[in-house]
Homo-oligomer: A and B are copies of this chain.
Amino acid sequence: MVQSCLADRLGRYLRLGDTERRALGALEESERLVSRGQVLRAEQAPARELFVVRRGWLYSSMLLPDGNRQILSVHLPCEFAGDTGMAWGNAPFTLVAATDAVVGVIDKAALRRLFAEHPRLGLLLYTLAQAERVALADRLASVGRTSARARVAALICDIMRRLRAGGEAVEDGIPLPLTQEEIGDATGLTAVHVNRMMRQLVEEGVIARSNGRVRILDEAQLAATANHIDRFATIDTGWLGS
């Protein structure tokens, strides 16, 4: 069996037993490759499955009637993607590959057995879904109540810390494979203004950029201008039990 990315991530929150690990590994029934820019699943397309990112980045977005797009979240390795659509037969959001990527495919009906046989994992999934709601709420607060500069900083800070939580080395910079237009769609700004704000962050010595990578020069400063709270660092799943 392929090493389960999902089990690794859940293992960060709970000490998993062998049966649990196996059950999680068995969830992903197949694998799919998508290349940068490709749509993995379009809004409104029939959707019976959810995905686990194995390699690369995806993002989910929705299109407004006036042609505007909102990027709702970026999905990094070992995270779910498309799991929000479980309550519908058709996908609420579009899933796009931000880089070349590989995803594991889970039929949502397979979750029935997981919840029945491993209630503790079910509860963990539920708890993490709630944590994702909190993360989305943080983004809402960022977009609704902070300046353009803060929003851009928040995006970078959030991604950097999630990469680090995933075990990636971030000291010599992180990849940022999003165009400024995509960053704008994520933060509720125009591409032009994203450019100005990133440039400003560079001038202030908070970050540095070179060919698609961002290096954080002053994390404290970045987090401060972003109003960023590292919520995932304080997650407590002790009450989930044995």
Distance in angstroms between the alpha carbons of A140 and B109 in the assembled complex: 29
Known: A66-B227, A122-B119, A144-B188. A236 touches B89 (CB 8 A): yes
How many copies of the shown chain assemble into the complex? 2
Known: A126-B129, A227-B65. A188 touches B143 (CB 8 A): yes
Cβ-defined contact, A130 with B87, below 8 A: yes
Chain A positions 148-202 with a Cβ under 8 Å from a chain B Cβ:
185, 187-188
Instruction: Please tell me the size bucket of the interface on A.
Output: 35 or more
CB of A234 closer than 8 Å to a CB of B = yes
Residues of B within 8 A of A85 (CB): 130, 134
Q: How far is the CB of A220 from chain B (nearest CB, A)?
A: 13
Kindly identify which residue among B132, B141, B239 contacts A72, using a CB–CB cutoff of 8 Å.
B141
Whose C-beta in chain B lies nearest to the C-beta of A65? B227
Residues of B within 8 A of A109 (CB): 239
Residues of B within 8 A of A45 (CB): none
Some 10 contacts from A to B, beta carbons below 8 A apart, are A62-B137, A64-B227, A65-B227, A86-B131, A87-B131, A87-B134, A112-B240, A115-B115, A139-B140, A143-B144
- Give the interface of A toward B (CB within 8 A): 48, 62, 64-66, 68-70, 72-73, 83-90, 92-93, 108-109, 111-112, 115-116, 119-120, 122-123, 125-134, 136-141, 143-146, 185, 187-188, 227, 231, 234-237, 239-241
